[in-house]
């Protein structure tokens, strides 16, 4: 039995029955990483010694029957924009190449408290700015299904690690699709929770009104288990919602009779790959067979989502990244005066895409342009949220494609930023509205590349997503077919 191929809930049952130890599971995952990582490049750092020590501690608790969670003893990969005490946290940027946080992000602290095992920090687009993980300042990550393809971004390292069985579960962050898009491209499950459900304390900020941490996993059950540990109010995060968090696994196994699924006509137009549309429509047909009621809805301001996002997000990035100036931490390039030191540090430390977004955001916030660009974008953002509010009066969840195409080739879109930005066209509006969305595998293209179905629900209705996603997953085999296509 290859332990690294199993899900968290399968391994948790083996651990409960004492048929396997956390140390054995962790060693199997680390061996898999040593074998596969040179090809996929999913990790920035692998914390093997720490992981084995954490596994031993988990085994001691398990032996006493005192496991605090179903993730106790389970190997977890952490996206490298979440602070980990004593472990390098780089955001895949040269400017933070030597940064070791003195504290854990709240999400990391909660997993540590539950005695999960941290096997490493995953690669990403620099400061989470990208859709392919080609913008990493360290190295590009490759898609385990086809090493000539990108894994998506910005959480490409986490998605690739799960798809290649180099972790059992992983964390990602989603600002405009950065969990769901790589999950779709890598044939795994990715959930973007409602804004405020999961603490952002210790998450290195990109766009503070959009960022949200969530799970990337092999199946829907594991996503529910991981969200159980991540969700909850945190007084350290002023945007954290003080809401009651249910046990999300309780929504699994419910039938879909009476569930209303909305299809936005704007999601099925020009630019959608025929194979993606075919797989998504087949998935919607399956939901109907399972008892769901299918109805058409409209999100009329969706065509403006990408433009709105790249004004709101870049404006916030311009402000958030001002702290990287060579003074307090990170890279410092000395000069004769402080202005030159700022300039040289930021020129040397930031990559091309980060510089592009800082300049766009600074321009949008500048005197004379603020009202014309940033303020107008905020107004359109309100209209986008209103579209969803009106759509959810007619349906319980919205269904559509996660991405317009399957994973594209390395280098295919790097010369055209606008084309790259459009790969997130179906995911961005969910972040702008502050609601929740999940991507689950729903097909494979003729080129043997995964295709994702996106389900969207109102704020704090993750239970609806799990109910529908699990029912679909159990009625199909797409989530099981992932491994047989991995050619490594």
Please list the alpha-helical segments (H only) found in 231-304: 274-289
Residue 173: active-site member: no
Tell me phi and psi for residue 320, to 5 degrees.
Answer: -65, -35
Distance separating alpha carbons of residues 87 and 83, to the nearest angstrom: 8
Distance separating alpha carbons of residues 393 and 468, to the nearest angstrom: 18
**Contact (CB, 8 A) for 470 and 221:** yes
Tell me phi and psi for residue 285, to 5 degrees.
Answer: -60, -35
Helix or strand run (H / E) with residue 400: strand 397-401
Tell me phi and psi for residue 55, to 5 degrees.
Answer: -65, -40
Distance in angstroms between the alpha carbons of the first and the last residue of the chain: 19
DSSP code string of 97-144: TT---SS--HHHHHHHHTT-EEEEEE--SGGG--SSSTT-SS----BT
**Closest of 47, 36, 34, 112 to residue 73, by C-alpha:** 112
3-state class (DSSP) for residue 402 = coil
Distance separating alpha carbons of residues 98 and 83, to the nearest angstrom: 13
Sheet holding 117-122, edge to edge: 43-46, 117-122, 75-79, 169-173, 213-217, 189-192, 436-444, 450-457, 397-401, 260-264, 293-297
Tokens of 443: 């097909």
Distance separating alpha carbons of residues 248 and 5, to the nearest angstrom: 23
Bridge partners, 455 (sequence order): 399, 438
Distance separating alpha carbons of residues 387 and 184, to the nearest angstrom: 25
Distance separating alpha carbons of residues 188 and 66, to the nearest angstrom: 31
Residue whose structure tokens are 């941290």: 118
- CB atoms closer than 10 angstroms to residue 258: 9
What residues contact 27, with CB distance under 8 A and at least 6 apart?
52, 55
Tell me phi and psi for residue 480, to 5 degrees.
Answer: -85, -20
Instruction: Work out whether strand 397-401 and strand 450-457 pair parallel, antiparallel, or are unpaired.
Output: antiparallel
Of the candidates 136, 178, 279, 318, the residue annotated as catalytic is: 178
Residue ranges with strand state E in 185-273: 189-192, 213-217, 260-264
Of the candidates 79, 115, 218, 413, the residue annotated as catalytic is: 79
Of the candidates 22, 45, 132, 154, the residue annotated as catalytic is: 154
Residue 178: active-site member: yes
Active site residues: 79, 154, 178
């Amino acid at each position: 039995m290859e332990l690294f191929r199993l899900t968290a809930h399968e391994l948790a049952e083996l651990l409960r029955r004492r048929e396997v130890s956390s140390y054995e599971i962790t060693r199997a995952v680390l061996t898999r990483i040593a074998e596969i990582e040179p090809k996929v490049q999913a990790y920035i750092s692998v914390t093997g010694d720490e992981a084995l020590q954490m596994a031993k501690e988990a085994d001691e608790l398990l032996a006493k029957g005192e496991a605090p969670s179903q993730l106790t003893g389970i190997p977890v990969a952490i996206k490298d924009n979440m602070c980990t005490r004593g472990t390098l946290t780089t955001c895949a940027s040269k400017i933070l190449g030597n940064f070791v946080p003195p504290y854990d992000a709240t999400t990391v602290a909660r997993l540590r408290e539950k005695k999960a095992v941290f096997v490493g920090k995953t690669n990403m687009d620099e400061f989470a700015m990208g859709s392919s993980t080609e913008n990493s300042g360290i190295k590009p990550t490759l898609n385990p299904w086809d090493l000539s393809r990108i894994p998506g971004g910005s959480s490409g390292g986490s998605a690739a690690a799960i798809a290649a069985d180099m972790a059992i579960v992983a964390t990602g962050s989603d600002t405009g699709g950065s969990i769901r898009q790589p999950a779709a491209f890598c044939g795994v499950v990715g959930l973007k929770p409602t804004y405020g459900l999961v603490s952002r304390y210790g998450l290195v900020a990109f766009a503070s009104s959009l960022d949200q941490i969530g799970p990337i996993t092999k199946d829907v059950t594991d996503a529910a288990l991981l969200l159980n540990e991540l969700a909850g109010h945190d007084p350290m995060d002023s945007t954290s919602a003080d809401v009651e968090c249910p046990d999300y696994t309780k929504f699994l196994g419910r039938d879909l009779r009476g569930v209303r699924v909305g299809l936005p006509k704007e999601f099925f137009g020009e630019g959608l790959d025929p194979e993606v549309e075919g797989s998504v429509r087949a998935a919607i047909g399956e939901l109907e067979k399972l008892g769901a009621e299918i109805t058409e809805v409209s999100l009329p301001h969706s065509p403006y989502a990408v433009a709105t996002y790249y004004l709101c997000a870049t404006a916030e990035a311009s402000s958030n990244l001002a702290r990287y100036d060579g003074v307090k931490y990170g890279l410092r390039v000395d000069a004769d005066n402080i202005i030159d030191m700022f300039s040289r540090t930021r020129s040397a430390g930031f990559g091309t895409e980060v510089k592009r977004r800082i300049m766009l955001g600074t321009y949008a916030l500048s005197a004379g342009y603020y009202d014309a660009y940033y303020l107008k974008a905020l107004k359109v953002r309100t209209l986008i949220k209103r579209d969803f509010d009106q759509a959810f009066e007619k349906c319980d969840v919205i269904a559509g494609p996660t991405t317009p195409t399957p994973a594209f080739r390395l280098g295919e879109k790097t010369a055209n930023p606008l084309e790259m930005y459009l790969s997130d066209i179906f995911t961005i509006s969910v972040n702008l509205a502050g609601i929740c969305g999940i991507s689950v595998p729903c097909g494979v293209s003729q080129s043997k590349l995964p295709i994702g179905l996106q389900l969207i629900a109102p704020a704090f209705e993750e239970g609806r997503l799990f109910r529908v996603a699990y029912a679909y997953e159990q009625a199909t085999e797409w989530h099981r077919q992932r491994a047989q296509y991995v050619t490594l």
